[in-house]
Amino acid sequence: MMRQYELVEKVNGYKKNADEALLNKAYIYAMQKHGQQKRANGDPYFSHPLEVAAILTDLRLDEETIATALLHDTIEDTDATRKEIDALFGEKIGFLVEGLTKLKRLDLVSKKAEQAENLRRLLLAISDDVRVLLVKLADRLHNMRTLDHMPAEKRSRIAAETMEIYAPLAGRIGMQGMREELEELAFRHVNPSAHAMVTAKLAELVEKNRNLVSTITSELASKLEREGIQATVKSRQKRAFSVFRKMENKRLSLEQLSDLFGFRIIVGTLEDCYRTLGVVHTTWQMVPARFKDFISTPKQNDYRSLHTTVIGPSRQRVELQIRTWEMHEVAEFGIAAHTLYKDGFAPDGNGSEKMNAFATLRKTIAQLAEGVNPEEFLEHTKLELFLDQVFCFTPKGRIIALPKGATPIDFAYAVHTDVGNTCVGCKINGQIMPVITELKNGDEVEIIRSKAQTPPAAWESVVVTGKARASIRRATREAVRKQYAGLGTRILERAFARAGKTFASEMLAGALPRLAREAVDDVLADVGRGELASVDVIRAVFPDYKDERVSHAMPDKDEGWFGLKAGSSMLFRVPGSRAKGKRKQGETPAIPIRGASGDLPVRFSPDGGAVPGDRIVGILTPRKGITIFPIQSPELKEYDEMPERWLDVRWDIEEGSSERFPARIKVVAINEPGTLATIAEVMANNDANIQNLAMHRTAPDFMDMVFDIEVWDLNHLTRIIRQLAAKPVVSKAERIVGRESE
């Protein structure tokens, strides 16, 4: 365990005039507070914060960060308080320590929700001061190094969390060395058999290629020296997890991978980077499509380097990275490599905004903070943190960085949420392409928009960025909520009219406390979903209202009525039984049905559907909207005891509408070659769309066929059935409605 004076000397080694008093006070306070606490391996607990501080001294961080590392578990695991930390060490260190403290006494229903809330709190603290993240990553790194002493179940959970969140976070701020070590340590616990297999194979290959690596290193160094370029050439072996991920992504065996060894050429100046590239490409053959210039187009985490692959000695593929020493330091240590922490600038001041990695991280956190619930937040965080990128361009030349596998939909949402929500198509490099096309580096993408567009819910399964997925989910929820609110309005208009009252949405405002809702739209949407009864709304608005329903009503001679059952207390007018005209005074308004794509959440009976011209009834299904049944459907018997779910509906189809409606027909036909073709020809000639076909042989010479088709209306359906029945190969053709008719 590092001693007090050793820690102070280490900080003094890279920072002159370091605040030794602060470091000494934090060391003693943390050691006293943790007292006799022990870790799972039996070591004094204080050894953990001390090792975290040591990791951060390797990154050459300031005294406040080192002191925070020493104190980071005191509020959570001892009787220390934020107030006490503020008084002894200042509010800034108190803020940093509290940002690293997990939420306590969470009243949440799942471990996943708790994990998400802890992560949300951490990320919000990071957005104010990135040093919170640096301490947290060092904390996680030391915990992973000592994970073997934890119970197996806990090891697996911590390793998975490290792989999914903390390793990508390190990559997001450019700390590639820490990311690789975190991934490697987690890989050993997440997939121990794969880790053992890849590690053993790599050891064999290292031994086999030992001479080749030294040959390439010396040959590169000699060639550059002859060209007058001062360079340091380093070889590095790919880590086990990096190799395993590449094997999985490219579906290759380990023997098929040609770039298990990489070489870094570190030079003095930017000009030397490109001179070195010229020497390499004129000496050895370049592998096409393997050159990337991250100097002219840096990654979002500030990574800058030239990448190329050539056919080197012994016809072996050689992967090269060419960079300056400054670029190398940023590539290894990311944000921690910036002089921000070494020249006295405030880490939470304006200087941090100049770091693209931190600015990008803050932007990501702002997007993640929009998550609707903890589980969604956790999902979006994982999506946002993986950094295999492609760089695309808007028509005006703006660069948009996206994860590998991104589509034009992701691109649209990266430009602006409104652009994504109104996207209806795209052009990639000037050609109209599907919006699900996978984008490639250098693509120019133009988004085609329409104000009438609402993003389809199916897009959620296509996109790869968290922002796009969250925006689509939010827009879909809003569209569905609008539909349910519209249905709720129609239901309440009808219910109020039946009660002899006039409905206006404004009158709901005063009843919100009695309905336990926060907004009028909440009431309307919940009524539309079937989660709030219309009669309860009436009672909330009119507390003296009594539900007096007529138990025996005689229908008007022009009206048709459908009784729920003999002696039922509620009767419903059958819509569609009377020609269009003015509605009678006091008549309850029926809800107009325009189809499944209208402005209300409507679906049709799954057993036979319904078509315009049918006499129809609506059944309110919680969270599914209105289900439309033909009046003769036997399924309606299931709702005899649920009169509150019955709705008075009517067709309201605009002339020239292109929407089709579902229907089911049964055909008994002779079992001989060509019969199906004859029936299909009738369907095609009548412009019917076949959705499904079920065939069953009932006798040696006959076959039952059940067709689910889409038609315009009842006349269209009747014409098809009549023409089918007239065919010589058809014994019988009839419409079927409901399961009992089959």
Taking residues 243-249, what's their average pLDDT? 78
CA distances in angstroms from 37 to 4, 74, 78, listed in the order given: 19, 12, 9
Query: To the nearest whole percent, how much of the chain has pLDDT over 90?
Result: 30
Query: What element of type H or E holds 693?
Result: strand 689-699
The answer to whether 526 and 540 have CB atoms below 8 angstroms apart is no
Of the spans 153-167, 475-489, 544-558, which averages the highest pLDDT? 153-167
Catalytic, out of 77, 164, 219, 460: 77
The answer to whether 71 and 85 have CB atoms below 8 angstroms apart is yes
Query: To the nearest whole percent, how much of the chain has pLDDT over 70?
Result: 81
In the residue annotation, 446 being an active-site residue is answered as no
In the residue annotation, 107 being an active-site residue is answered as no
DSSP conformation class of 577: S
Confidence of residue 187 (pLDDT cuts 50, 70, 90): very high
The amino acid at residue 627 is: T
Residue 409 is predicted with a pLDDT of: 95
Taking 80 as the threshold, does the pLDDT of residue 117 lie above it? no
Confidence of residue 356 (pLDDT cuts 50, 70, 90): low
Of the two residues 161 and 183, the one the predictor is more confident about is 183
Taking residues 647-663, what's their average pLDDT? 84
For all residues of the chain together, what is the average pLDDT? Answer: 80
Residue 329 is predicted with a pLDDT of: 85
pTM: predicted TM-score of the whole model, two decimal places = 0.54
Q: Which residue has the tokens 């599914």?
A: 624
Catalytic, out of 76, 114, 227, 329: 76
Encoding tokens for residue 337? 């490599």
The Cα–Cα gap between 215 and 229 comes to: 19
Residue 119 is predicted with a pLDDT of: 65
Q: What is the DSSP string of 25-78?
A: HHHHHHHHHHTT-B-TTSSBTTHHHHHHHHHHHHTT--HHHHHHHHHTTHHHHS
Confidence of residue 102 (pLDDT cuts 50, 70, 90): low
Domains belonging to the chain, first-starting first, are 4-194 (1.10.3210.10), 199-339 (3.30.460.10), 388-460 (3.10.20.30), 465-545 (no CATH), 549-654 (no CATH), 661-741 (3.30.70.260)
SS3 call for 225: helix
Taking residues 133-160, what's their average pLDDT? 89
The answer to whether 710 and 691 have CB atoms below 8 angstroms apart is yes
72-88 pLDDT, tens digit per residue, is 999 989 999 999 999 99
Of the two residues 281 and 238, the one the predictor is more confident about is 281
434-465 pLDDT, tens digit per residue, is 999 999 877 899 999 988 788 888 898 899 88
The Cα–Cα gap between 495 and 266 comes to: 78
Confidence of residue 245 (pLDDT cuts 50, 70, 90): confident
Confidence of residue 367 (pLDDT cuts 50, 70, 90): low
Q: Which residue has the tokens 């078509």?
A: 611
Of the two residues 195 and 314, the one the predictor is more confident about is 195
Enumerate residues 6+ apart whose C-beta is below 8 A from 226.
Answer: none
Taking residues 504-528, what's their average pLDDT? 85
Taking 70 as the threshold, does the pLDDT of residue 39 lie above it? yes
